[in-house]
């Protein structure tokens, strides 16, 4: 059963159709408009035991292209950790979806090249990004553009390569941080693009941490924030914490949960 949370807001680009986000697991989401669909960090089945993985029936629907996961034109992977990416699942998906393009860090692509069963069938649709920390690169896809920003992984680690993504689709601007090391300075490049962010996907603790809150309020300034990467054990998390947040924030906690952002309306 899909759970719907309707949100209304205005985009700088004045999009003419709604944007829908469907939560899959951990940081995995489907982002869609009426004509475009993008998957981010959604194809894995062997997670860090501290974080949830997609349920087997959801993975079957994803790989099989059942609604709402049909006609995905772009797959983004932020980094090579098992709660974000799995070679075998991505391999099956790309083999079965001949229109889908993959944009991913160079080490993710190397993992596919080394061990994916069907690599040669889709290698021409794979775009590896080999960036140094602080560098960015923009790629076009059929629905718009994607800018990737190389950061350190959380914990100030060089490996695995972490990419943050800023995605434009039908006038909407969506930001996904992956597992970026949290310092306001690394996020400033995102806003240098000059486009206001309609939806930012960040770790669930950002609103409660002084640095995270500063990133949101002083740097990214998104119109709406989806909170993700919620641990399986929630012993240190209370419903009251999230109830205290204003209506810019939505916690992604239930597989199948949807957010709908509508154009031309002010919250």
Q: What percent of the chain has pLDDT over 90?
A: 79
Query: Which tokens is 54 given?
Result: 């997609």
Closest among 169, 162, 171 to 141, alpha carbons compared:
169
Tokens standing for 16?
A: 């003419």
Whether 183 has a pLDDT exceeding 60, the answer reads yes
d(CA 178, CA 187): 12
pLDDT > 70? residue 239? yes
Q: With bands split at pLDDT 50, 70 and 90, how would you rate the model's confidence at 47? A: confident
In the chain, the domains with their CATH numbers are 17-250 (3.60.15.10)
Q: Which residues contact 203 (CB under 8 A, 6 or more apart)?
A: 177, 179, 182, 212, 227, 228, 229
What is the rounded CA–CA span in Å between residue 242 and residue 204? Answer: 9
Determine the Cα–Cα distance for residues 163 and 180; give it in Å rounded to an integer: 8
Q: What is the pTM of this model?
A: 0.92
User: CA of 90: how far to CAs of 25, 71, 175, in Å?
Assistant: 15, 15, 22
| Longest CA span, the chain | 50
């Amino acid at each position: 059963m899909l759970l719907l949370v309707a949100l209304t807001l205005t985009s700088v680009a004045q999009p003419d159709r709604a944007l829908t986000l469907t939560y899959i697991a951990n940081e995995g989401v489907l982002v869609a408009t009426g004509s475009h669909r993008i998957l981010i960090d959604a194809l894995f089945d062997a997670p860090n035991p501290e974080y949830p993985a997609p349920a087997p029936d959801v993975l079957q629907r994803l790989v099989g292209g059942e609604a709402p996961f049909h006609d995905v034109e772009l797959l983004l992977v932020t980094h090579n950790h098992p709660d974000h990416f799995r070679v075998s699942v991505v391999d099956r998906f790309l083999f079965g979806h001949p229109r889908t393009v993959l944009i991913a860090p160079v080490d993710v692509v190397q993992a596919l090249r080394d061990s994916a069963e069907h690599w040669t069938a889709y290698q021409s649709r794979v775009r590896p990004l080999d960036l140094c920390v602080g560098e960015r690169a923009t790629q076009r896809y059929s629905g718009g553009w994607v800018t990737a920003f190389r950061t350190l992984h959380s914990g100030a680690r060089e490996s695995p390569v972490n990419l943050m993504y800023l995605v434009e689709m039908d006038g909407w601007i969506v930001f996904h941080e992956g597992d970026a090391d949290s310092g306001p300075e690394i996020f400033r490049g995102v806003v240098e693009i000059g486009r206001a962010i309609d939806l930012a996907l960040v770790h669930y603790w950002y609103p409660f941490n002084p640095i995270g809150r500063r990133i949101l309020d002083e740097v990214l300034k998104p119109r709406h924030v989806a909170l993700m990467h919620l641990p399986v054990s929630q012993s240190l998390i209370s419903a009251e914490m999230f109830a205290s947040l204003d209506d810019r924030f939505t916690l992604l906690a239930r597989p199948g949960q949807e957010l709908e952002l509508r154009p031309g309306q002010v919250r």
